[in-house]
C-alpha cells in the first residue's frame, strides 16, 4: 500500500464505523421490541 | 389504477413485504460488499499515476453517489407526500435524512483523505467540494426541522417544501465540474458513454455502489418497520 496506506485504511475505517453503527442502532431497537412483545405474549 | 397503487404502498403490504425480503437483502448486501471491498483493496491494480491512493475511490465515489441519490429519493417522496398525501412518503423522508447526512459526511471525509496526498491539502473551496458541503448543511437543516417542529402535519409539509427548495443543489453538485474550473476530477462513470476506467477497476466500483444502495434499502426498511411497530402501529390494523 506504499505511502498512501494511512489515508486508504482511514477511509475504509470511517466507512466501516459508519455502516456498522447505522446498522446496529435500528437492529438493536427492533430486537428489543421483539423481545418485549414476546414477553407480553407469553 | 389508483387503488392498485394505494394497495401496493399501504403500510401493511410494505411491512409484510419488507419483512420477507430483509434476509435476502442482507445476504445479497454482504456478498456484494465483500466483493467490493476485496476488489477495491486487493484485486484492482494500482493506478499508474496515483498508486494505491486511488483505492479511496471505492468508498468516496459510492458515498458521494448515495448522498445525491438519497436526496433525490427524498425529493420524490416530498412530491408524493404533498401531492398524493401518501403517509409512507413522509416516513421515507424522516428515516432517509440521517442516512443521507451520514453518506454526505463520509464522502466529505474520504474526499479530504484522498485530497491530502493528491492535491496536498485536506480542503479547498472548490465548486464540487463546496456544493457537497452545502448539501450536508441542507441535510442538517432537515434533521433540525424534524426535531424542532412539534406539530406533525405542519412539520411534514414544511420539511417537504424545504427539501424541494434544497433540491436545486443536486444539479449544481453534478454539473459543478463542467460549469467551473475545479480541482476535482470529472465523472469517472458515464451513463451514456464508455467509462474512462478499466474494467478491472470498474467492477469493484460498481459492486460498492450496488452494496451501498442495498445498505440504504436495508436500513431504511428496518427503521420504517420499527416506526410502524411503535408509533404508527394503528396503520398495520385492518
Closest approach of B59 to chain A, Cα-based (Å): 7
pLDDT higher than 70, residue B200: yes
Q: Could you read off the pLDDT of B78-124 as tens digits, one per residue?
A: 999 999 888 889 999 999 999 999 999 999 999 999 999 888 899 99
Looking at the partner chain, which of B99, B110, B117 has a beta carbon nearest the beta carbon of A22? B99
Chain B residues whose CB is inside 8 A of the A12 CB are 37, 41, 59
- Confirm or reject contact between B141 and chain A (CB < 8 A): no
Put simply, the answer to whether A11 touches B51 (Cβ < 8 Å) is no
Q: List chain A residues with CB under 8 Å of B223.
A: 26
Bigger pLDDT: B84 vs B134: B134
Report the complex ipTM. Answer: 0.87
User: CA torsion angle for B158, B159, B164, B167 (degrees, to 10)?
Assistant: 150
Angle (CA) B207-B211-B217 rounded to 5° is 150
Residue B51: strand, helix, or coil:
strand
Between the alpha carbon of residue B147 and those of residues B88, B97, B117, B141, the distances in Å are: 19, 12, 39, 10
pLDDT higher than 60, residue B61? yes
Q: Please write the tens of the pLDDT for every residue from B138-186.
A: 999 999 999 998 888 888 999 999 999 999 999 999 998 888 888 887 7
Compute the C-alpha angle B191/B72/A13, nearest 5°. Answer: 80
**What's the pLDDT score for residue B1?**
56
Looking at residue B152, what is its pLDDT?
A: 81
Q: Give the Cα separation of A29 and B59 in Å (integer).
A: 28
Amino acid at each position: 500500500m506504499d505511502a498512501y496506506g494511512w489515508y486508504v485504511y482511514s477511509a475504509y475505517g470511517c466507512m466501516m464505523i459508519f455502516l456498522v453503527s447505522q446498522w446496529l442502532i435500528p437492529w438493536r431497537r427492533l430486537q428489543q421490541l421483539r423481545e418485549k412483545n414476546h414477553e407480553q405474549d407469553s | 389504477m389508483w387503488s392498485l397503487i394505494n394497495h401496493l404502498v399501504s403500510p401493511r403490504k410494505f411491512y409484510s413485504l419488507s419483512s420477507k425480503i430483509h434476509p435476502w437483502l442482507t445476504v445479497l448486501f454482504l456478498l456484494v460488499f465483500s466483493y467490493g471491498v476485496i476488489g477495491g483493496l486487493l484485486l484492482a491494480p494500482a493506478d499508474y499515476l496515483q498508486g494505491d491512493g486511488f483505492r479511496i475511490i471505492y468508498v468516496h465515489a459510492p458515498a458521494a453517489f448515495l448522498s445525491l441519490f438519497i436526496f433525490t429519493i427524498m425529493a420524490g417522496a416530498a412530491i408524493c407526500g404533498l401531492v398524493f398525501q401518501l403517509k409512507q412518503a413522509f416516513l421515507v423522508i424522516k428515516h432517509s435524512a440521517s442516512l443521507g447526512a451520514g453518506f454526505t459526511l463520509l464522502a466529505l471525509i474520504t474526499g479530504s483523505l484522498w485530497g491530502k496526498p493528491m492535491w496536498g491539502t485536506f480542503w479547498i473551496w472548490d465548486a464540487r467540494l463546496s456544493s457537497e458541503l452545502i448539501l450536508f448543511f441542507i441535510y442538517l437543516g432537515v434533521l433540525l426541522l424534524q426535531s424542532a417542529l412539534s406539530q406533525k402535519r405542519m412539520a411534514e409539509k414544511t420539511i417537504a417544501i424545504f427539501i424541494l427548495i434544497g433540491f436545486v443543489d443536486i444539479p449544481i453538485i453534478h454539473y459543478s465540474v463542467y460549469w467551473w474550473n475545479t480541482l476535482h476530477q470529472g465523472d469517472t462513470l458515464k451513463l451514456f458513454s464508455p467509462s474512462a476506467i478499466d474494467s478491472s477497476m470498474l467492477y469493484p466500483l460498481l459492486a460498492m455502489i450496488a452494496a451501498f444502495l442495498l445498505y440504504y434499502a436495508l436500513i431504511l426498511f428496518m427503521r420504517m418497520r420499527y416506526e410502524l411497530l411503535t408509533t404508527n402501529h394503528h396503520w398495520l390494523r385492518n
